[in-house]
Amino acid sequence: MESGNHLGICWSKNKATVVCLASPGRERKVLDCFSVSVDGEEQGQQALADRIVQACRQRKVKFTSSAVALDCASFMQHTVHSEFRDPKRIAATIRFDTEEALATDISEIAVSFRVTSGAEEGSNLDVFTVQRSVLSDILLSLQSNGIDPVAVDPDVCCLARYLGEYAKTQDTPEQSTLYAMLSGSHGYLVAVSGAGQASVLRTFLIGSAQDRTGLLIRETLVTTALADAAHPVGRLCVFDATGGLRTESLQEGTGLKVSTCDPAGLAGAKPGDGGEGVNAVDLALACGAALAPAEKADSVNLRHDHMPYLGKKRRQQNAVRLLSISVTMLLLAVGVCFHSQLIRVSKQRENLRDKLEVDYLAVMPGAMPTPMKKASDDLEKALRHLRAEKTGAGANQGSVSAMLTLVLQSLNACARQTDLNVGSITITSTNIVIVADTSSRQNTQGAIKTMREMMKKAGITGGSESIGGTGERDAFTITAELAKATKGA
């Protein structure tokens, strides 16, 4: 299926004209055009929709969207005043305003509107009404064949859209051009202004026995009177599918410049492009309907009020919404999965901590660390205490054993001279006590002197001594205080 091609259907009671319009680009070209009709036992909306689909398949017409131009015999046009200028507020109150203007129940009527003019006191509207049952029959018949129109517009609105797209007015911006298009039984009047003003739209039915020229003169005069006074109609451009109009009579009756136009030629369609039974007015209406998807702002869409469009765009929106929900659910599931794993690992860590906490407490620090200076002082104090206990006096000699060696050396030095006999040597953490005796008092004093000199060299200067005889020998006791030596060290 070619992307972007649009199908326009001009729908009447027993006949439909179909146009396939190329996708928007430099040129909105008519790709195909044909007409189908039903009669006899096949009459009905469903039979007409079946014929349309069958013809599209036979002609291999490809399209992505479709729209319908509803025949003017199926709807009614009214002039209604609204107190609002905002289109949204107008849309919210249009049904009440229409019901009040028509003085009838509109519960079974679909309503659409277009703003024709606005002022401080409100807006003037063209309101189009159609029976809901008529719209339902058309839409259900097409939908059963796989065609879901994005819009169902009044045919005169489609004609105005078509002329706005293809017609090139040659008048000055201060004047308007009135297009009059007559088909077999319908007439359309569209006043197009170059100033961008809203078009004046009117439709009328044509009887088989009526004077088409006289009828058009009368309707033209009414339409020109409704046109904006600031942009009066200066030219009348006419087309009659039956060829029964008298141009001279029109010019005399209306007082306007009258010229003929070819609606099909405006879109670049050649005389042979239209299928059998297709008239130029129906082709223009179908083309205007096909322009609806590209001209949504200019669409007087009756589907806004009845069976709103639920086609491709809505399906895409639903698909995106469903995808978003699915992705959100997936992300939530992944998040719950990872979170459960984190909870499991955290629980295992807590269990392991509880299990090993008792063992860790033995090696974990308790109180906060003391300042560095206090810690240094404590270490120095402990070092002095260890030195006092381990080395005693003479710490400058290295150890207590070294001090004891010096004491023994001093004893050995005087042993021969004084006939020294050592009874005991007691070493504590604070002093050294030596108990000995000699053969005489003189030898005792000499031994004490020698020992004191040796201790003095070792750094031991304190202590006491006592001398007392024990029989034939002269006994003495000498005490050396190691604490003083340690402090001095």
Where do the domains of the chain lie? 71-129+152-314, 388-488
User: Residue 148 in contact with residue 66, Cβ under 8 Å?
Assistant: yes
The two structure tokens encoding residue 458: 């070792």
Q: Quickly state the pLDDT bin for 276 (edges 50, 70, 90).
A: low
N-terminal to C-terminal alpha carbon distance within the chain? 110
* Mean predicted confidence (pLDDT) in 9-29: 83
Global pTM value: 0.64
Task: Please say whether the structural domain 71-129+152-314 has been given the CATH code 3.30.420.40.
Answer: yes
The CATH architecture assigned to 388-488 reads 2-Layer Sandwich (3.30)
In sequence order, the 6+-apart residues with CB closer than 8 A to the CB of 189 are 178, 179, 180, 200, 201, 202, 203, 204, 219, 220, 223
Q: Which residue has the higher pLDDT, 409 or 5?
A: 5
pLDDT of residue 139: 93
Nearest of 77, 231, 65, 45 to residue 154 by alpha carbon: 77
pLDDT of residue 292: 78
Q: Which residue has the higher pLDDT, 53 or 416?
A: 53
Work out the percent of the chain whose per-residue pLDDT is above 70: 79
> In one letter, which amino acid is 274?
G
Q: Quickly state the pLDDT bin for 488 (edges 50, 70, 90).
A: very low
Q: At what angle do helices 280-290 and 155-166 cross, to 10 degrees?
A: 90
Which residue do the tokens 């206090």 mark? Answer: 374
Looking at every residue in the chain, the average pLDDT score rounds to 80
In sequence order, the 6+-apart residues with CB closer than 8 A to the CB of 323 are none
Q: At what angle do helices 400-418 and 441-457 cross, to 10 degrees?
A: 150
DSSP 8-state secondary structure symbol assigned to residue 62: -
* Span of 38-42, 49-53, 76-80, 209-213 with lowest mean pLDDT: 38-42
pLDDT of residue 270: 58
User: Residue 242 in contact with residue 212, Cβ under 8 Å?
Assistant: yes
pLDDT of residue 269: 65
Q: Where are the alpha helices (DSSP H) in 111-201?
A: 132-143, 155-166
Q: Quickly state the pLDDT bin for 110 (edges 50, 70, 90).
A: very high
pLDDT of residue 395: 45
**Full strand arrangement of the beta sheet holding 473-481:** 421-427, 431-438, 473-481, 465-470
User: Is residue 414's pLDDT more than 80?
Assistant: no
* Span of 32-46, 145-159, 362-376 with lowest mean pLDDT: 362-376
pLDDT of residue 241: 86
Q: Which residue has the higher pLDDT, 371 or 65?
A: 65
pLDDT of residue 27: 67
CB-based burial of residue 408 (10 Å sphere; 0-12 exposed, 13-18 middle, 19+ buried)?
A: middle
* Mean predicted confidence (pLDDT) in 331-355: 88
User: Residue 255 in contact with residue 200, Cβ under 8 Å?
Assistant: no
The two structure tokens encoding residue 26: 């430099």
Q: Quickly state the pLDDT bin for 489 (edges 50, 70, 90).
A: very low
The Cα–Cα gap between 264 and 334 comes to 62
Q: Quickly state the pLDDT bin for 391 (edges 50, 70, 90).
A: low
